[in-house]
Amino acid sequence: MANAMLQQTVGGTLQLLSNSGTHCNVGNRSVRLLPKGFKLEVEFSKRGIYSSGKRKFNVIQASTSQTSVVGPLLAPSSSDTVDSHMKSNEVALILIRHGESLWNEKNLFTGCVDVPLTNKGVEEAIEAGHRISNIPVDMIYTSSLIRAQMTAMLAMTQHRRKKVPIILHNEDERARAWSKIYSEDTIEQSIPVITSWKLNERMYGELQGLNKQETAGKFGHEKVHEWRRSYDIPPPNGESLEMCAQRAVAYFRDNIEPQLLSGKNILISAHGNSLRSIIMYLDKLTSQEVITLELSTGIPMLYIFKEGKFIRRGSPVAPTEAGVYAYTRRLAQYRQKLDDMLT
């Protein structure tokens, strides 16, 4: 039965033509060091600072009696509560392509123009939230574009744990000071959201804002198809998929993968091309295979990161479907704890 349910949940969301740090202990804390060029400072209090280049993030330590979100790279204290992190040998990675935007609706090239969701896009984001409502999320990464951020925020309104996603503003000292939270209880019921332009949709250059059908009529269907679907040919003054992949995959390796290695469950809300690039890396696809990859808007993809490998699990169907929770024992246990605590 479990296998049958698994087959039902995997199909229909991803089309693919072929299947082709260091640790140290500080007191009783386990710390993972970032790659060269990154710095980690830990304070022995309830709060700490994580610094990556010029960006600093609050590090939030779990109490022994309450569930919590643990900030980047600081290991949680031992706890058997519902949000205690899955062991580092198995964590969840969720990818969501944003819902329909206003320019998707108008059939315009959008690229890096910052356009919000349509009503349909809002509904797609909420449906995505239903699908992941029983999967643990410790940190959220989005692009700098509002449609990806809206999708992540709306999706998390449906999560059964009811933690609040909070965008971290680290542009300067004033931004950090003005957005500081002074309640430990509130911090522990929050999820940090980190935004980066490196997860943006690929920049479509001089095509941005143009109607796709009219552009095909002007330049020819073959030329526009080449710009849209080739791997290494960019549109005029824009990015190719290869160029988009260089920044998106580098960001994933340098910033997100260390969090997975440290035991964090991660949600990424981004765009068709930046997510295709990341999936190319996760599934070890060739440049020819990735151009055949299609991602539906608002449909989450679940990966399990276990023993240094990414295992694609398809898309969760809905909170009432048991199949997705049979993917791993830990996800099933997490859902059971939610049921016990919240029902």
- Contact between 126 and 324 under an 8 Å Cβ cutoff? The reply is no
Is 100 annotated to bind a ligand? Reply is yes
* Coil/strand/helix, residue 177: helix
Residue 127 annotated in active site: no
Flag whether pLDDT at 320 surpasses 50.
Answer: yes
Name the band, by pLDDT with cuts 50, 70 and 90, for residue 321.
Answer: low
Is 328 annotated to bind a ligand? Reply is no
Assign a CATH topology to domain 81-342. Answer: Rossmann fold (3.40.50)
Is 99 annotated to bind a ligand? Reply is yes
DSSP state of 34: P
- Out of 33-47, 74-88, 306-320, the most confident range is 306-320
* Closest listed residue to residue 194, CA positions, set 287, 90, 70, 55: 55
Flag whether pLDDT at 49 surpasses 80.
Answer: no
Residue 242 annotated in active site: no
Angle at 5 between CA 153 and CA 318, to 5 degrees: 25
- Contact between 202 and 243 under an 8 Å Cβ cutoff? The reply is yes
Give the residue extent of every domain in the chain. 4-71, 81-342
| Candidate list 85, 159, 188, 201, residue with the active-site label | 201
- Contact between 313 and 10 under an 8 Å Cβ cutoff? The reply is yes
- Contact between 303 and 282 under an 8 Å Cβ cutoff? The reply is yes
Q: Of all residues in the chain, what percent carry a pLDDT higher than 90?
A: 61
Is 272 annotated to bind a ligand? Reply is yes
| Candidate list 85, 98, 159, 271, residue with the active-site label | 98
Say which amino acid occupies 219: F
Beta strands 29-33 and 22-26, pairing class? antiparallel
| Cβ-based neighbour number of residue 120 at 10 Å | 15
- Contact between 336 and 145 under an 8 Å Cβ cutoff? The reply is no
